Amino acid sequence: MTQQPLRIGLAGLGNVGASVFRLLTEHRDMLRDRTGRDIRVVAVSARNKSKDRGLDFSTVSWHDNPVDVAADPSVDLVVELMGGSEGAAFDTVKKALELNKPVVTANKALLANRGAEVLALLKKSEGTVSFEAAVAGGIPVIKGLREGLAGNKIRAVYGILNGTCNFILSEMYSTGRPFADVLKEAQDKGYAEADPTFDIDGVDAAHKLSLLSGLAFGCVPDVEHIDTKGIRKVTSLDIDFANELNYRIKLLGIARQTDKGIEQSVEPCLVPKDSPIATVEGALNAVYVDGDFVGKVLLMGFGAGGNPTASAVVADIVDVARNRALPLMGIAAEKVTPLKPANILERIGSYYFRLMVLDQPGVIADISAILRDNKVSLESVLQRGRDPDQPVPVILTTHETSEESIQRVAAEIGKLPSVVEPPYLMRIEEFKS
């Protein structure tokens, strides 16, 4: 039996919003067949009404204020695609939930920074919030965690969560060009914004990781406790030395359940060249989920762009049309607990050091003494060039040690007169399927 139409209010008509409108229009008959309901946009809002988007809005109501889309009595489902954690985006979601309407959003910043407030609203609302498009674009990682892996206790979730950074690191590897040149190409191709800060400093990936952690471990998204480092300091020298050591460099978001709490980090890491995650190139994203019964599952695809993200948005809309939208963090809002962060200084792992030193007698002996005194053992030492007048690179890799020890070693080495710039550290993650 055909149900009543699902009437959508669309707040935000940027790249993703326009693609959602187009998808719903072009696939209207197919979606009706798959859901048993007619799904149509009845109200929209955007900053610039006069902009030519190549779409026909003649049959929909236009609201200058997006909150009015949520309040519109003709709207059954609110789709928020404005972005940002403050102002209109939050106010629109809040109004929809106060009116017991379901919400679909692609807004990772909103949920990462104000997830506790959204959960508080959900406790008093009959509405739901779905956010497949907020993490990894068109890759169904949220559905994977909330549905396909619901029978598993999740031990870890990790992966490449930012396509811009993956493109930059891939191009640096394949072409040998420096970071600044490849960043400019990423901007020219539309992979990076004019201000790329959120991408290259790891903020975007941290937002996404906080949502994955919340789903994986049934906790409130907590971006404040993610140790976040971007890729600005990765050089072609690091790319070359990592390759010589049989590693690739990838910006990884990692969340692990440990006996002492949940470890969360976003940082460039060395991964073995024969690991699947090392082969993920260009603007692709890849997410591993490690469950106690299923083992490791890899999801990979394009994590950004209007069409892939619109695909994820419409997947959530279809769930609402089928009356099967799930709780925000996969469990009832009342069951979601605050995240218990592990002390990052107690994290155990192996490390890569890049040192720029003056080629003087005793330099390596001084460095070795600091490592010995802090009980940090070396895996390998690489040195290139001999020039008494210019700094030369020395690359160290260590056996497993604590983050606290390695930070202390880095601080002490940085004080040596022969070390001309702060040591650069990256973790080595031995990911294999």
330 within domain boundaries: no
| Tokens matching residue 57 | 């809005």
Strand spans (E) along 273-402: 284-291, 295-302, 348-358, 378-383, 391-398, 401-402
Q: Are residues 14 and 124 in the same domain?
A: yes
Q: Are residues 184 and 76 in the same domain?
A: no
The pLDDT of residue 306: 81
CATH number for the domain including 99?
3.40.50.720
261 within 8 A of 155, measured Cβ to Cβ: no
33 within domain boundaries: yes
Catalytic amino acids?
208
Q: Are residues 240 and 191 in the same domain?
A: yes
Last residue of one domain, picked from the residues 134, 151, 171 = 134
308 within domain boundaries: no
340 within domain boundaries: no
1 within domain boundaries: no
Among 224, 231, 214, 223, which residue's Cα sits nearest to residue 141? 214
The pLDDT of residue 194: 81
CA distance linking residue 239 with residue 233, whole number of Å = 11
Q: DSSP assignment, residue 131?
A: -
359 within domain boundaries: yes
CATH number for the domain including 372?
3.30.70.260
| Tokens matching residue 25 | 């229009």
Residue span of the structural domain in which 398 resides: 345-428
| Tokens matching residue 208 | 């996404």
Quick one: CA torsion of 188, 193, 198, 200, rounded to 10 degrees?
10
Q: Which residues pair with 239 in a beta bridge?
A: none
317 within domain boundaries: no
Work out how many domains the chain is built from and give that number.
3
311 within domain boundaries: no
pLDDT under 70: residue ranges of the chain:
1-2, 385-388, 432-433
The 10s digit of each residue's pLDDT in 341-393 is 999 999 999 999 999 999 888 888 999 999 999 999 999 999 876 666 789 99
397 within 8 A of 427, measured Cβ to Cβ: no
Q: Are residues 128 and 149 in the same domain?
A: no
CA distance linking residue 11 with residue 70, whole number of Å = 8
Among 108, 97, 84, 89, which residue's Cα sits nearest to residue 161? 108
Q: DSSP assignment, residue 341?
A: B
Phi, psi of 53 (to 5 degrees): -105, 0
Q: Are residues 112 and 30 in the same domain?
A: yes
C-alpha dist (Å) from residue 51 to 47, 143, 183, 259: 9, 34, 29, 54
The pLDDT of residue 433: 44
Q: Are residues 48 and 148 in the same domain?
A: no
Last residue of one domain, picked from the residues 84, 109, 134 = 134
Last residue of one domain, picked from the residues 267, 302, 337 = 302
The pLDDT of residue 104: 97
Q: Are residues 245 and 226 in the same domain?
A: yes
CATH number for the domain including 204?
3.30.360.10
| 28-35 and 306-321 helices, crossing angle to 10° | 40
C-alpha dist (Å) from residue 159 to 108, 112, 267, 354: 17, 18, 11, 24
